[in-house]
Amino acid sequence: MIVVKGGVTMAKGFLASGLEAGIKKSGKKDLALLYSEVPAVAAGAFTTNRFQASPVKISKLHIKNKTHQAVIVNSGNANCANGKTGDRSAWEMACYAATKLGLSEREMLVASTGIIGVPLPLNRIKARIGDLVEGLSGKGGENFAESILTTDTVKKDFAVKIKIGSSIVSIGGACKGAGMIHPNMKTEGHHATMLSFITTDAAISKKMLEASLDEAIKYSFNMVSVDGDMSTNDSCFILANGLAGNIKIEKKNGEYKKFTEGLKFLTGRLAKMLVRDGEGATKFVEIDVVGAKTKEDACAVARKISTSNLLKCAIFGEDPNWGRICAAAGASGVEFDPDKVDIYLGGIKSLSNGAIAKNYDKEKAREFFKTKDVAIRVDLNDGKASAKAWTCDFSKEYVAINSEYST
């Protein structure tokens, strides 16, 4: 696997664009388009929040189509809680873009991010779609990545190349998210906001693409949390157009495994980018839970610790209060013996067999908490399974951002 510079236009045959449509008061880019020059298969994963935004509803219908060729996305407006009018606007947004591209409406996917409960300015969007189509370019990935941002401070894109058979396959992606980040997405193939768009020139069946995406997001996007709030708009799309020329992946063989490992690596890197750019974040936190009976148990404990507001505040204040880690782990619903648990803050053992470690040095732990990257390891000593989750601290700036978001 080779890491390369690029994003959604790294894979062969993908073009993108992004521009200002007047949705954001700031005048920054807020409308983006991603397009495959040939029909592609697609898979999508969406929020499990019961209160789903209109673009999520439309894309969940459209993703069932056999082929797809484009995704249109706006930032600055979530188009959520707008009733049937919002549903109609999301559908018209997709249809209008499809018409300009000469596609069927079912070949177009749609996504939105921004404030909830404000009508989508559809006329402004329609007025710029022609320019959006005209601006499609193999170099448009950066504009695309910028146009999908809301409270993000930096664009987030990444790409890799992997060898499948005798062919070189590219996988590239871009995502956005800084607040309202606690995804729990599921692919339709199996049943502040995080949006992710992934492209690949791999030849792969729709069924295998759905399976691969499901595997990838389970231990990447679904293991991050900025604030514990699940968005109404979370969506992850992947399009595969087959232009790499590899033998088509149609079953879970060695080639499927190679592709999925590449996709997992990509989504893992993008997921960490989300956390590092969390609203007001000053520290990146990795929680490594080991020694669990099952992978599901390890995930549940790691996920629960990552959402502890008390721990996140302690990390911001550089207070090594490991008792909050114990409390969160115990509240995870996972059965384990507390008297067997060890906790490490970096290389410093703070808890040993359920009690404070004999040589625990609080001042050394405090110095460790002053670093930008905080690593916490919890050993349940109850099995061989492990899992990682990622979060950030809660700062005063986070409160400031979210106390005036709608003004």
> Read out DSSP for 287-336?
EEEEEESSHHHHHHHHHHHHT-HHHHHHHHTT---THHHHHHHHTSS---
- The domains of the chain are located at 2-276, 284-402
- What does pLDDT average to over the chain? 93
Q: In angstroms, rounded to a whole number, what is the distance separating the alpha carbons of residues 374 and 304? A: 17
Over pLDDT 90: what percentage of the chain?
Answer: 83
**Both tokens of residue 227?**
């604030």
pTM of this prediction? 0.91
The one catalytic residue in 193, 232, 267, 307 is 193
Q: What is the pLDDT of residue 177?
A: 77
Contact 38, 243 (CB under 8 A): yes
Sort 370 into a burial class: Cβ within 10 Å, 0-12 / 13-18 / 19+.
Answer: exposed
> Per residue in 54-65, pLDDT tens?
999 999 999 999
Q: What is the pLDDT of residue 110?
A: 98
Q: What is the pLDDT of residue 406?
A: 58
CB proximity list for 173: less than 8 A, separation 6 or greater: 7, 8, 157, 158, 159, 196, 197, 198, 199, 266, 267, 270
Q: Inform me whether the pLDDT recorded for 39 exceeds 80.
A: yes
Q: Does domain 2-276 have CATH number 3.40.50.300?
A: no
For residues 45 and 226, which has the higher predicted lDDT (pLDDT)? 45
**Both tokens of residue 326?**
């114990």
Long-range CB contacts (< 8 A, 24+ apart) of 306-314? 306/223, 306/224, 306/225, 306/389, 306/390, 306/391, 307/182, 307/225, 307/228, 307/391, 309/228, 309/394, 312/285, 312/391, 312/392, 312/393, 312/394, 313/393, 313/394, 314/369
The CA-CA-CA angle for residues 286, 299, 216, to 5°, reads 85
Q: Inform me whether the pLDDT recorded for 226 exceeds 90.
A: no
Q: What is the pLDDT of residue 277?
A: 87
Known catalytic membership, residue 260:
no
Per-residue pLDDT, averaged over 389-397, amounts to 90
Q: What is the pLDDT of residue 187?
A: 54
Per-residue pLDDT, averaged over 39-64, amounts to 95
Per-residue pLDDT, averaged over 316-338, amounts to 96
Confidence of residue 279 (pLDDT cuts 50, 70, 90): confident
Q: Inform me whether the pLDDT recorded for 192 exceeds 60.
A: no
Q: What is the pLDDT of residue 178?
A: 63
For residues 288 and 218, which has the higher predicted lDDT (pLDDT)? 288
Confidence of residue 189 (pLDDT cuts 50, 70, 90): very low
Class of domain 284-402: alpha beta
Q: In angstroms, rounded to a whole number, what is the distance separating the alpha carbons of residues 5 and 15? A: 16
Q: In angstroms, rounded to a whole number, what is the distance separating the alpha carbons of residues 305 and 283? A: 15
Q: What is the pLDDT of residue 340?
A: 98
Contact 111, 237 (CB under 8 A): yes
CB proximity list for 277: less than 8 A, separation 6 or greater: 152, 153, 154, 156, 177, 178
Q: Inform me whether the pLDDT recorded for 191 exceeds 90.
A: no
Task: Label residues 381-405 b or e (16+ Cβ within 10 Å = b).
Answer: bbeebbbbbbbbbbbeebeebbeeb
26-35, 168-177, 224-233, 311-320: which range is least confident on average?
Answer: 224-233
Q: What is the pLDDT of residue 193?
A: 61
Looking at residue 137, the DSSP 8-state letter turns out to be B
**Both tokens of residue 289?**
């839970």
Per-residue pLDDT, averaged over 42-60, amounts to 94
Q: What is the pLDDT of residue 183?
A: 53
For residues 183 and 118, which has the higher predicted lDDT (pLDDT)? 118
Q: Inform me whether the pLDDT recorded for 111 exceeds 80.
A: yes
> Per residue in 139-156, pLDDT tens?
999 999 999 998 888 899
